[in-house]
Amino acid sequence: MNQESELINVLAEKISQSDRQAFDELFRLMYPGLVRYAVLYLKEKQIACDIAQDTFITLWKQRTNIDLDKSLKSFLFRMVKNQCLNFLRDNERLIVDTDLMNITPADRQGADLSEYHTHENRLANLFREWIDSLPERQKEAFELSRFEGLNHHEIADVMEISAKTVNNHIVTALQQLRACYEAYQNNE
pLDDT of residue 92: 62
| pLDDT higher than 60, residue 96 | no
Lowest mean pLDDT among 2-11, 68-77, 82-91, 110-119: 110-119
Could you please report the per-residue DSSP string of 114-152?
Answer: -HHHHHHHHHHHHHHHHHHTS-HHHHHHHHHHHTT---H
52 domain residue, yes or no:
yes
Looking at the structure, tell me whether residues 67 and 124 fall in a common domain: no
Which are the contacts of 22, defined by CB distance < 8 A and separation ≥ 6? 10, 11, 14, 15
15 and 78 both lie in a single domain: yes
Domain boundary among 23, 56, 91: 91
- Could you give the 3-state DSSP secondary structure of residue 98? coil
CA dihedral sign of residues 177, 181, 187, 188: positive
Are 65 and 135 within one domain? no
CATH label of the domain that carries residue 138: 1.10.10.10
pTM of the complete model: 0.65
Answer yes or no: is pLDDT of 70 > 50.
yes
pLDDT digits (tens, 9 = 90+) for 131-180: 999 999 999 999 998 888 888 999 999 999 999 999 999 999 999 988 98
Within this chain, do residues 82 and 138 fall inside the same structural domain, yes or no?
no
The overall average pLDDT reported for the chain is 84
Overall domain count for the chain: 2
Same domain, 147 and 82: no
Q: Is residue 110 part of a domain?
A: no
SS3 letters across 4-34: HHHHHHHHHHHHHCCCHHHHHHHHHHHHHHH
Work out the pLDDT band at 102, boundaries 50, 70, 90.
very low
pLDDT at 107: 42
125 belongs to a structural domain = yes
For the segment 87-92, the average pLDDT, to the nearest whole number, is 79
Single out the residue of 37, 39, 4 nearest to residue 158, CA to CA.
37
83 part of a folded domain: yes
Give the Å distances, CA to CA, from 99 to 55, 73, 144, 185.
21, 25, 20, 30
- The verdict on residue 139 lying in a domain is yes
Please indicate, yes or no, whether residues 78 and 124 belong to a single structural domain of this protein.
Answer: no
Q: What percent of the chain has pLDDT over 70?
A: 84
Instruction: Write out the residue range of the structural domain in which residue 84 sits.
Output: 3-91
The per-residue pLDDT for 1 is 62
Query: Once rounded to an integer, what is the mean pLDDT over residues 101-127?
Result: 56
Give the CATH number for residue 11: 1.10.1740.10
Q: Is pLDDT at 104 greater than 60 in this prediction?
A: no
pLDDT tens per residue, range 24-55: 999 999 999 999 999 988 888 999 999 999 99
Domain assignment present for residue 96? The answer is: no
